[in-house]
Amino acid sequence: MAYENILVEKRDGIAFITVNRPKVLNALNRKTVEELGDALRDARDDGSVRVLILTGAGEKSFVAGADISELAVQTPVNGKEFSLFGQGVVHLLETMGKPSICAVNGFALGGGCELALACTIRIASKTAKLGQPEVKLGIIPGYGGTQRLARLCGKGVAQELCLTGEMITAEEALRIGLVNHIYEPAELLPAAEAMAKKVIANAPVAVKFTMEAIERGMEMPQEEGLFLEATLFGLACATEDMKEGTKAFLEKRAAQFKGQ
């Protein structure tokens, strides 16, 4: 499928999805969000894709936020629909059953930070800047920032970042747990690909069940989360991959997983 504002490349089990509007620092307008949704659904439904890597075109920005020219004309009714539509695409990224790695290669502000928050793992260039500056425009985060940031980094961190609207450095993002690792700019995408290959080497069903246990368990009391974990553990024990994985370990060889 051809896109105007998104680049997609698939190779070695990885779908590389790049927001491609470098002249406006990869800002998210409606068309870009729509195309991103289409690209995510395509990757979700493609059996050859095991991991997604999201990044932005150019060296300055991952996604510098929403397109301000579109934001400026929102009415109360349109604004709610604008938010819900974006939330739907971001939710798809979070719940598609395949892990995603966000390679933050520059500014990740507003909707860009929210997109990163919905990814399974976040890594960043040392030059990256992250933040939720919506209050500076008289609005609030609308693509899930108030919810995911608090869950990931804690209520106090979310309050500070969302209320001040200030950007933070990659080093600070690492300190508060917003990103997992930081790299020199030239090392960022190779590091993302290396991490993706580590995930791909593992049993596909086990990876999916692990993600489900973590994502759903975070929304449950611990006792319910433990029950979910035990249930998914039991299901994993019924897979061909479990038999292959344990047999390969005992035979001291590399497992050949089939996702069954």
Answer whether residue 159 shows pLDDT above 80.
Answer: yes
pLDDT computed for residue 41 by the predictor? 97
Residue 134 is among the residues annotated as catalytic for this protein: yes
Give pLDDT, residue 209: 97
Active-site choice (9, 114, 166, 223): 114
Is 6 exposed, middle or buried (CB count within 10 Å of its CB: 0-12, 13-18, 19+)? buried
Report the run of H or E that residue 52 belongs to, with start and end: strand 51-56
What is the average pLDDT value for the chain, to the nearest integer?
95
> Encoding tokens for residue 27?
């800002």
Residue 134 binned pLDDT confidence (cut-offs 50, 70, 90)? very high
pLDDT band at 70 (very low <50, low <70, confident <90, very high): confident
pLDDT > 80? residue 1: no
CB 49 within 8 A of CB 14: yes
The three-class DSSP label of residue 129 is strand
Q: Is the pLDDT assigned to residue 260 strictly greater than 80? A: yes
Q: Is the pLDDT of residue 76 over 90?
A: no
The band of 82, judged by pLDDT with boundaries at 50, 70 and 90, is confident
CA angle 182, 86, 189 (to 5 degrees): 25
Q: Measure the CA–CA gap between 241 and 112, rounded to whole angstroms.
A: 36
Integer Cα distance of 83 and 233 in angstroms: 36
pLDDT of residue 108: 97
Phi-psi region of 156 (alpha: psi -120 to 50; beta: other; left: phi over 0): alpha
Q: pTM for the whole thing?
A: 0.95
State how far the Cα of 119 lies from the Cα of 133, in Å rounded to an integer.
20
Cα separation, 66 vs 85, whole angstroms: 13
Q: In the numeric block, which tokens belong to residue 133?
A: 């500056």
User: Which of the following is catalytic: 4, 59, 134, 229?
Assistant: 134
Percent of the chain at pLDDT > 90 equals: 91
Over the stretch 176-224, which tens digit does the pLDDT of each residue have? 999 999 999 999 999 999 999 999 999 999 999 999 999 999 999 999 9
How does residue 59 score in pLDDT terms, banded at 50, 70 and 90?
A: confident
How many angstroms separate the Cα of 203 from the Cα of each of 75, 198, 232, 255?
47, 11, 14, 9
Give yes or no for a contact between 153 and 141, defined as CB atoms under 8 angstroms apart: no
Beta strands in 141-195 (DSSP E): 168-169, 181-183
pLDDT tens-place string over residues 20-50: 999 999 999 999 999 999 999 999 999 999 9
